[in-house]
């Protein structure tokens, strides 16, 4: 059995040669430039190789780390570094992780041989019926017959509860798909579109049967150094360019972000440059379309690679992608995130995070239903080799990118562990969801879990961080890579989410399954149901619009700046199993300002007159947050956590309450000692589905009160 071995950094260095034309651009440079008008002629096609592959880049170490895995694979084959791989039919040993609420998307148990990497994920939803289509990089199909696709795909007809893995994405006849997936839905014709790196440049693949098959294929662009292509489709019913498709990418032959457009997905315009040819070092373009048809594209720019600093640049088109003008940059002068050990010449020899994960800090940009722009990105918050290495950040613009609001750090952990690969999605109803890989729960800063946060008010405020994935993901062996057809230090470069009016659809890669004794990268899915109409309690004017008698009942209506409410979290009765309280401190906190428990006799300090053995409660007393769990005797009170200086005048506190769970802004707790909200039997009280929440007082005792809370927004979830 012959099997090629390509070890990036051992037998091969794949890098970017910029042919002497690239020089370090000035940090923060904001050149305004209108570009050429696109001519709507399709590019030439045919053949599976091009003549402009820059093979010299394979021996230039100065720009290592900018290429995607797809372009690296393509260059290595077309430059004769190795032949196409020969796979193995040996199924090996596969040990699935314990059953979980997350859903496995790819058929991992069916993989054979050593090449079993599924990562770098994308998902799209068909708006008419919620059918889902997913794409991902898949070394299994590239390393096994017919050896012509590094791209996998699958679909779900039940909202993601079950998935069908459809195998390899078929390429254009005679070509090879080299990955970098992006799947999008086009409302104008009801079809899914899947764009990839192709052995001739860039290709788009079209499915008219709901992602079961991709039977139409077209060449978007012919180019030997095309990389990191992403697509946006104009689905705006009020847009003059409704139905138009846009693909953006980096052309490393001249170091330019380019765009091509199409009105039918089959014929594509000649490319236009999205910025001047001025030597800037750029990668990671991400497009979006506003409801009025304006097109925006963001990317990351290094003033010097790889040290940085880095900027996030954005351009805008008001004529359907014909011309572009640069707008303000949401990030200027950021520190390029990289771990000093993993990035060293003895390890990955390129920007990488701890555990030898190569890292490209690509931003993501989306426009909401009102045309507000939302951007997420990652950067080092405190300088290279100092404290924290990488966090996740957000900014918004209400004037089409002319100005940007205050930067918000989205991960609320208090330590210096890594948060990376932020993924952004904006629902049709306006809810913003961001999720990322998060290492807060690993003292060694290696394993990760997917966390998320939501904004229900257009990015002005954010809910508590909450875990999405069921548990931690270990790291696979990346240096050397366990997978012989995957570059060293590769664990994906991005994830791409989608949303409709009802749900946020989240997809990612993690390594909880075990194959042949190592952690195995697979594609996982979860969704978050959107609640469009949260209710508000105003403790200044003593009003509320939550109603009463349904899931929310007021034990003590708002009066004198205080209130007590009961929330019934019984899915079979009210349809809800989760309550989120967004608490605003308009004044300085004093006394008891928050008390939330699962007993009507909660009175602070974990006491409830012993009416429920499984009772739990949390409180904010003065500026400190405390959590008490399962107060059955003995002992009478079990203090689970104290968080000092948790609130102050002007602060927001988000509390996420579920069965056996509490999220509190800077972290979360999971324990059977916490709220019993799933109808558990109780030796001292009734079966319970209720949560009691008091603001500026305790639940049971009005004499234990306080001041500071001025508003509470209550959001319920199924």
Q: What is the pLDDT of residues 350-375, one digit of tens each?
A: 999 999 999 999 999 999 988 999 99
| Stretch 602-630: mean pLDDT | 77
Is pLDDT at 402 greater than 50 in this prediction? yes
Q: Among residues of the chain, what percentage have pLDDT more than 90?
A: 65
Is pLDDT at 184 greater than 50 in this prediction? yes
Q: Is 525 exposed, middle or buried (0-12, 13-18, 19+ CB in 10 A)?
A: buried
- Which position has the higher pLDDT, 551 or 96? 551
154: in domain: yes
Tell which of 526, 550, 569 closes a domain. 526
Q: How many C-beta atoms surround the C-beta of residue 40 within 10 A?
A: 14
Quick one: pLDDT at residue 537? 95
Is pLDDT at 267 greater than 50 in this prediction? yes
Domain shared by 642 and 683, yes or no: yes
Tell which of 471, 492, 526 closes a domain. 526
Question: Could you read off the pLDDT of 496-538 as tens digits, one per residue?
Answer: 999 998 899 999 999 999 998 999 999 999 999 876 567 899 9
State the CATH number of the domain containing residue 168.
2.120.10.10
Quick one: pLDDT at residue 16? 30
Domain shared by 62 and 115, yes or no: yes
Is pLDDT at 216 greater than 70 in this prediction? yes
Domain shared by 123 and 252, yes or no: yes
Helical ranges in 289-344 per DSSP H: none
Tell which of 526, 550, 571 closes a domain. 526
CA–CA dist 231, 228 (Å, integer): 10
Name the average pLDDT for the chain: 86
Number of compact structural domains in the chain: 2
Domain shared by 656 and 613, yes or no: yes
Domain shared by 509 and 546, yes or no: no
DSSP 445-510: S-SBEEEEEEESSTTSS-PPPEE-SSS-BPPP-BTTBSSTTS-TT-S-S-EE-EE-SSEEEEEEEE
Domain shared by 477 and 550, yes or no: no
At 282, list the tokens.
Answer: 């750029």
Quick one: pLDDT at residue 56? 77
Please report which confidence band the pLDDT of residue 18 belongs to, taking 50, 70 and 90 as the band edges: very low
223: in domain: yes
Domain shared by 204 and 349, yes or no: yes
Range of the domain at 411: 55-526
Least confident of 85-99, 400-414, 480-494: 85-99
CA–CA dist 581, 370 (Å, integer): 25
35: in domain: no
44: in domain: no
424: in domain: yes
What strands lie across the sheet with 408-409, from one edge to the other?
A: 364-367, 373-379, 391-397, 408-409
| β-pair partners for 519 | 514
CA–CA dist 440, 418 (Å, integer): 7
State the CATH number of the domain containing residue 663.
2.60.120
Counts for the chain of helices (H) and strands (E), in that order: 2, 46
Domain shared by 522 and 567, yes or no: no
CA–CA dist 35, 556 (Å, integer): 63
398: in domain: yes
15: in domain: no
Is pLDDT at 192 greater than 70 in this prediction? yes
Query: Could you tell me whether strands 331-334 and 352-353 are parallel, antiparallel, or unpaired per DSSP bridges?
Result: unpaired
Please report which confidence band the pLDDT of residue 79 belongs to, taking 50, 70 and 90 as the band edges: confident
Which residue in the block uniquely carries the two structure tokens 């990036």? 8
| Stretch 615-633: mean pLDDT | 81
Question: Could you read off the pLDDT of 636-692 as tens digits, one per residue?
Answer: 557 888 999 999 999 889 899 988 888 887 678 888 777 777 777 655 556 778 889
Spell out where 274-418 has E strands: 281-289, 295-302, 310-317, 325-326, 331-334, 352-353, 357-358, 364-367, 373-379, 391-397, 408-409
| Stretch 527-552: mean pLDDT | 85
| Residue 615 near residue 602 (C-beta atoms within 8 A) | yes
Domain shared by 581 and 503, yes or no: no
At 54, list the tokens.
Answer: 């820059």
Measured in residues, the chain has a length of: 718
* Closest CA relative to residue 189, chosen from 122, 141, 127, 101: 127
| β-pair partners for 123 | 134
Is pLDDT at 22 greater than 80 in this prediction? no
At 43, list the tokens.
Answer: 């590019």
Phi/psi of residue 71, nearest 5 degrees: -65, -40
Quick one: pLDDT at residue 597? 87
647: in domain: yes
Domain shared by 577 and 442, yes or no: no
Which residue in the block uniquely carries the two structure tokens 């105003």? 538
CA–CA dist 660, 146 (Å, integer): 49
Domain shared by 464 and 600, yes or no: no
> How distant, in Å, are the alpha carbons of 122, 179, 574, 710 from that of 506?
9, 20, 26, 34
Is pLDDT at 632 greater than 60 in this prediction? no
Domain shared by 157 and 237, yes or no: yes
């Amino acid at each position: 059995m012959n099997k090629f071995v390509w070890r990036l950094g051992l037998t091969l260095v794949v890098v970017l040669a910029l042919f002497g034309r690239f020089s370090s651009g000035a940090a923060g440079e904001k050149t305004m430039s209108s570009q050429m008008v696109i001519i709507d002629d399709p590019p030439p096609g045919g053949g599976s190789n091009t003549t402009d592959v820059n093979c010299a880049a394979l021996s230039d170490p100065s720009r290592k780390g900018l290429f995607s895995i797809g372009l690296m694979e393509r260059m290595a084959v077309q430059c004769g570094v190795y032949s196409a791989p020969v796979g193995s039919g040996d199924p090996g040993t596969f040990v699935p992780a314990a059953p979980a609420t997350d859903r496995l998307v790819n058929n991992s148990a069916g993989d054979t041989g050593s090449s079993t990497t599924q990562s770098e994920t994308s998902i799209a939803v068909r708006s008419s019926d919620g059918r889902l289509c997913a794409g991902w990089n898949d070394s299994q199909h590239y390393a096994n017959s017919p050896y012509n696709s590094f791209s996998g795909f699958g679909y779900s007809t039940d909202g993601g509860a079950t998935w069908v893995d459809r195998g390899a994405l078929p390429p254009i006849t005679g070509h090879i798909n080299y990955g970098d997936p992006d799947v999008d839905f086009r409302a104008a014709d009801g079809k899914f579109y899947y764009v990839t790196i192709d052995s001739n440049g860039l290709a788009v693949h079209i499915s008219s049967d709901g992602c079961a098959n991709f039977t139409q294929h077209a060449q978007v662009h012919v180019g030997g150094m095309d990389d990191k292509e992403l697509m946006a489709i104009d689905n705006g019913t009020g847009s003059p360019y409704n139905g138009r498709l846009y693909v953006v990418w980096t052309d490393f032959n001249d170091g330019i972000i380019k765009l091509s457009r199409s009105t039918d997905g089959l014929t594509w315009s000649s490319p236009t440059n999205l910025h001047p040819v001025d030597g800037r070092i750029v990668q990671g373009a991400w497009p979006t379309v506003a409801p009025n048809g304006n097109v925006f594209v963001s990317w990351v720019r290094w003033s010097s690679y790889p040290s940085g600093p880095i900027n996030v640049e954005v351009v805008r088109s008001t004529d359907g992608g014909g011309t572009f003008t640069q707008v303000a940059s949401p990030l200027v002068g950021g520190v390029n995130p990289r771990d000093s050990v993993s990035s060293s010449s003895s390890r990955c020899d390129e920007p990488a995070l701890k555990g030898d994960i190569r890292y490209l800090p690509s931003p993501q940009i989306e426009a909401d239903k009102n045309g507000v722009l939302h951007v997420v990105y990652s950067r080092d918050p405190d300088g290279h080799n100092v404290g924290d290495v990488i966090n996740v950040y957000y900014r918004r613009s209400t004037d089409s990118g002319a100005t940007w609001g205050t930067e918000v750090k989205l991960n609320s952990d208090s330590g210096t562990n890594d948060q990376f690969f932020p993924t952004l999605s904006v629902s049709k109803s306006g809810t913003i969801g961001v999720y990322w890989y998060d290492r807060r729960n690993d003292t060694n800063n290696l394993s990760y879990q997917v966390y998320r946060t939501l904004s229900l008010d257009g990015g002005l405020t954010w809910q508590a961080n909450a875990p999405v994935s069921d548990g931690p993901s270990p790291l696979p062996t990346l240096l050397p890579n366990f997978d012989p057809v995957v570059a060293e230090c590769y664990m994906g470069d991005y994830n791409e989410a989608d949303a409709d009016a009802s749900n946020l659809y989240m997809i990612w890669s993690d390594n909880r399954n075990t194959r042949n004794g190592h952690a195995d990268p697979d594609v996982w899915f979860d969704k978050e149901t959107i609640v469009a109409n949260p209710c508000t309690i105003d403790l200044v004017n003593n009003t509320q619009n939550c109603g009463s008698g349904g899931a929310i009942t007021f034990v003590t209506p708002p009066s004198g700046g205080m209130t007590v409410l009961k929330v019934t979290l019984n899915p079979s009765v009210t349809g809800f199993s989760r309550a989120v309280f967004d608490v605003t401190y308009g004044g300085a906190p004093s006394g008891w300002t928050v008390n939330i428990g699962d007993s009507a006799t909660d009175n602070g300090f974990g006491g409830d007159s012993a009416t429920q053995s499984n009772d739990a409660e949390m409180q904010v007393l003065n500026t400190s947050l405390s959590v008490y769990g399962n107060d059955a005797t003995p002992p009478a009170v079990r203090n689970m956590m104290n968080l000092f200086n948790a609130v102050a005048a002007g602060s927001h506190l988000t509390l996420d309450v579920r069965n056996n769970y509490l999220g509190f802004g800077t972290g979360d707790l999971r324990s059977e000692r916490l709220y019993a909200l799933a109808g558990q039997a109780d030796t001292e009280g009734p079966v319970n589905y209720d949560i009691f929440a008091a603001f500026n007082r305790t639940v049971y005792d009005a004499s234990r009160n306080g001041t500071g809370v001025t508003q509470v927004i209550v959001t319920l979830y199924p």
